[in-house]
């Protein structure tokens, strides 16, 4: 039996409410016969004892017992007792998974949800519509996200299939924008009617561009000459490639601003999108370069000369990741029957909107209608880094009449599709399932890079389908009609949520 003073039920209820361990509006529920964590409740425990929290000092002593691992100690504490340790700063809330160990990941997340709920006056996450159960967190830990409280499901639709380079692919799209899948499907139908899409891969090179300071512009200039020389290239290449089985240095591009040198390392990265890989290789190459230029100072591994996750002309001009051109001919009859417009109207609109309109707006790489819509939906479905949609969506859509104006020749040129089929979010189960559906899960068994290149080809082709359908809807004046049908919910708008306010002061 515990030696703690025994409270009355009412005392205990007040104590727990004061400590925000139960909802102030609720009464104590019926006590369980034993605690689910196996702690604190002997078989013949009274009502009060079942709910009795050990004191902070007792919990700490259990937690810090040196003969046990932290995971073993935490298993002896109830959820509320762990929360007590978190509240008192003895356990970092973001470290719960690591401390609990692989077998208890869901418990760690359940406890974090309670901590987050109580630290802010938000509606309790414990009864929230944000799901957290039945998810494989072992793939998330140390790879995909920190401080996890659950996951946010996004609807996954299928457009197509679309015939790409002679193979028929379903087009997976994770999106909350109604009409997108319908529109892309219509585009696929029209493209298939003309025999499908052909693609060309013109380049495959991820880039990283560090910023390197020198004491003077003269010394920076000397280093630039060395980097641009055969000798410098060979030294940097050897160092770079020592860090990976798959990363191969393809080119170096250097530029100077004052006494700062920028070097853009361009690398093939096998089936990985490659940003971790190329950053690791670049760091090693710079270490070696410093042996030749001791006065250089690496200001940052990324000097924005890469350019990652930001709009930049260098990406549009030089390419980044996979550079793809996709091409198709759509018969005029299909333009009329499936797309409800004409070849002439489409070509005219494409020039006035995608080319002249974007030029008037001062666009860089935005010579398209909605490439980012299709690309981002496929990125989310296949576990890509969604922030890279910025440059990956750069696209020029071109249309011209062929066969005496009867048919439509269409191309999309996308120089920066940054995708992988290994690494990053591609290791998550559902995203892997989508890659598997496409036949490109993981590393290609014979030709590293083949799977990720196929994904880039699929994306460019699907973008073409989306471009074709939206431009047709705009030309025919059907845009808003479609969105009223597919993109305006009939479900009542939810009530205004309670604003987040600072939570109560930590418990004494």
Ligand X SMILES: CC(C)(COP(=O)([O-])OP(=O)([O-])OC[C@H]1O[C@@H](n2cnc3c(N)ncnc32)[C@H](O)[C@@H]1OP(=O)([O-])[O-])[C@@H](O)C(=O)NCCC(=O)NCCSC(=O)C[C@@](C)(O)CC(=O)[O-]
Ligand Y SMILES: NC(=O)C1=CN([C@@H]2O[C@H](COP(=O)(O)OP(=O)(O)OC[C@H]3O[C@@H](n4cnc5c(N)ncnc54)[C@H](OP(=O)(O)O)[C@@H]3O)[C@@H](O)[C@H]2O)C=CC1
Give me the residues that bind ligand Y (CB under 6 A), please: 244-247, 269-277, 279, 308, 385, 420, 422-424, 443, 448
Q: Under the phi-then-psi rule, with left for phi > 0, alpha for psi from -120 to 50, and beta for the rest, what region is 80?
A: alpha
- Residue 109 to residue 145: CA distance in whole angstroms: 12
Report CA-CA distances (Å) from 100 to 9, 79, 491, 495: 32, 12, 41, 37
Q: What's the min distance (Å) between Cβ of 137 and ligand Y? A: 16
Q: Under the phi-then-psi rule, with left for phi > 0, alpha for psi from -120 to 50, and beta for the rest, what region is 384?
A: beta
Complex with ligand X: residue 48 or 97, whichever CB lies closer: 97
Q: Catalytic one among 177, 213, 241, 283?
A: 177
Instruction: Report the 10 Å Cβ neighbour count for 77.
Output: 24
Complex with ligand Y: residue 37 or 279, whichever CB lies closer: 279
Do 412 and 463 contact (CB within 8 A), yes or no?
Answer: yes
Q: Tell me which of ligand X, ligand Y, none is bound by residue 317, counting a contact when its beta carbon lies within the kind-specific cut-off of 5 to 8 angstroms.
A: none
What's 336-401 look like in SS3? HHCCCCCHHHHHHHHHHHHHHHHHHCCCCCEECCCHHHHHHHHHHHHCCCHHHHHHHCCEEEEEEE
Do 365 and 359 contact (CB within 8 A), yes or no?
Answer: no
Q: Tell me which of ligand Y, ligand X, none is bound by residue 418, counting a contact when its beta carbon lies within the kind-specific cut-off of 5 to 8 angstroms.
A: none
Complex with ligand Y: residue 254 or 267, whichever CB lies closer: 267
Q: What's the min distance (Å) between Cβ of 431 and ligand X? A: 18
Q: What's the min distance (Å) between Cβ of 385 and ligand X? A: 7
Is 483 assigned a catalytic role? yes
**The residue to which tokens 């899409």 are assigned:** 197
Q: Tell me which of ligand Y, ligand X, none is bound by residue 272, counting a contact when its beta carbon lies within the kind-specific cut-off of 5 to 8 angstroms.
A: ligand Y
Complex with ligand X: residue 125 or 464, whichever CB lies closer: 125
Complex with ligand X: residue 346 or 417, whichever CB lies closer: 417
Do 178 and 483 contact (CB within 8 A), yes or no?
Answer: yes
Do 177 and 482 contact (CB within 8 A), yes or no?
Answer: no
Q: Tell me which of ligand Y, ligand X, none is bound by residue 147, counting a contact when its beta carbon lies within the kind-specific cut-off of 5 to 8 angstroms.
A: ligand X
Q: Which spans in 158-270 are helix H?
A: 180-193, 217-228, 230-241
Report CA-CA distances (Å) from 152 to 160, 175, 436, 486: 25, 12, 22, 22
Q: Tell me which of ligand Y, ligand X, none is bound by residue 244, counting a contact when its beta carbon lies within the kind-specific cut-off of 5 to 8 angstroms.
A: ligand Y
- Residue 276 to residue 206: CA distance in whole angstroms: 11
Complex with ligand X: residue 244 or 472, whichever CB lies closer: 244
Q: What's the min distance (Å) between Cβ of 136 and ligand Y? A: 17
Q: What's the min distance (Å) between Cβ of 92 and ligand X? A: 5
Of 83-102, which residues contact ligand X (CB under 6 A)?
Answer: 92, 94
Q: Catalytic one among 189, 224, 284, 309?
A: 309
Q: What's the min distance (Å) between Cβ of 97 and ligand Y? A: 18
Q: x-or-dash pattern for ligand X, window 289-308, by CB under 6 A?
A: -------------x-x-x-x
Q: Tell me which of ligand Y, ligand X, none is bound by residue 389, counting a contact when its beta carbon lies within the kind-specific cut-off of 5 to 8 angstroms.
A: none
Of 133-152, which residues contact ligand X (CB under 6 A)?
Answer: 146-147
Is 309 assigned a catalytic role? yes
Query: Residue 301: CB partners within 8 Å, gap ≥ 6?
Result: 208, 210, 279, 282, 283, 286
Please give the residue ranges that form the binding site for ligand X (CB under 6 A). Answer: 92, 94, 146-147, 302, 304, 306, 308-309
Residues with active-site annotation? 177, 309, 385, 483
């Amino acid at each position: 039996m515990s030696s703690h003073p025994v409270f009355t039920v009412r005392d205990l209820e007040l104590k727990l409410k004061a400590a925000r361990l139960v909802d102030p509006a609720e009464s104590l529920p019926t006590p369980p016969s034993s605690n689910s964590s196996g702690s604190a409740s002997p078989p013949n425990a009274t009502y009060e004892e079942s709910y009795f929290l050990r004191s902070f000092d007792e919990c700490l002593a259990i937690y810090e017992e040196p003969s046990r691992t932290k995971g073993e100690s935490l298993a002896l504490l109830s959820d509320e007792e762990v929360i007590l340790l978190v509240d008192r700063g003895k356990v970092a809330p973001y470290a719960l998974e690591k401390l609990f160990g692989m077998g208890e990941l869901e418990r760690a997340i359940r406890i974090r949800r309670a901590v987050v709920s109580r630290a802010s006056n938000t509606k309790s996450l414990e009864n929230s519509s944000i799901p957290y159960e039945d998810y494989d967190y072992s793939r998330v830990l140390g790879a995909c996200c920190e401080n996890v409280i659950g996951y946010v499901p996004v609807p996954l639709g299928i457009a197509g299939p679309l015939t790409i380079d002679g193979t028929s692919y379903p087009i997976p799209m994770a999106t909350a924008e109604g009409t997108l899948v319908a529109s892309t499907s219509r585009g696929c139908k029209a493209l298939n009617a003309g025999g499908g899409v052909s693609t060309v891969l013109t380049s495959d090179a991820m880039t990283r561009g560090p910023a390197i300071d020198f004491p003077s512009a003269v010394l920076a200039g000397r280093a630039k000459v060395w980097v641009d020389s055969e000798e410098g290239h060979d030294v940097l290449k050897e160092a770079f490639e020592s860090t990976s089985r798959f990363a191969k240095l393809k080119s170096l591009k250097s530029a100077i601003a004052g006494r700062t040198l920028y070097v853009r390392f361009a690398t093939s990265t096998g089936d990985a999108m490659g940003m971790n890989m190329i950053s690791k290789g670049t760091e090693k190459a710079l270490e070696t370069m410093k042996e030749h230029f001791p006065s250089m100072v690496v200001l940052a591994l990324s000097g924005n000369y890469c350019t990652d996750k930001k709009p930049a002309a260098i990406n549009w001009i030089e390419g980044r990741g996979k550079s793809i051109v996709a091409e198709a001919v759509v018969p005029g009859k299909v333009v009329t029957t499936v797309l409800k417009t004409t070849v002439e109207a489409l070509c005219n609109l494409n020039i006035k909107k995608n080319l002249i309109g974007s030029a008037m707006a001062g666009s860089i790489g935005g010579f398209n209608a909605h490439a980012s819509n299709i690309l981002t939906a496929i990125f989310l479905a296949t576990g890509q880094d969604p922030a890279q949609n910025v440059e990956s969506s750069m696209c020029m859509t071109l249309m011209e009449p062929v066969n005496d104006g009867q048919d439509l020749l269409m191309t999309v040129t996308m120089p920066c599709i940054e995708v992988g089929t290994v690494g990053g979010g591609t290791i998550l189960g559902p995203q892997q399932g989508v890659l598997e559906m496409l036949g490109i899960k993981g590393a290609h068994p014979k030709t590293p890079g083949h799977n990720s290149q196929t994904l880039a080809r699929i994306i460019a082709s699907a973008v073409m389908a989306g471009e074709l359908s939206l431009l047709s809807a705009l030309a025919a004046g059907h845009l808003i009609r479609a969105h009223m049908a597919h993109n305006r919910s009939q479900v009542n708008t939810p009530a205004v949520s309670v604003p987040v306010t600072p939570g109560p002061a930590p418990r004494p």
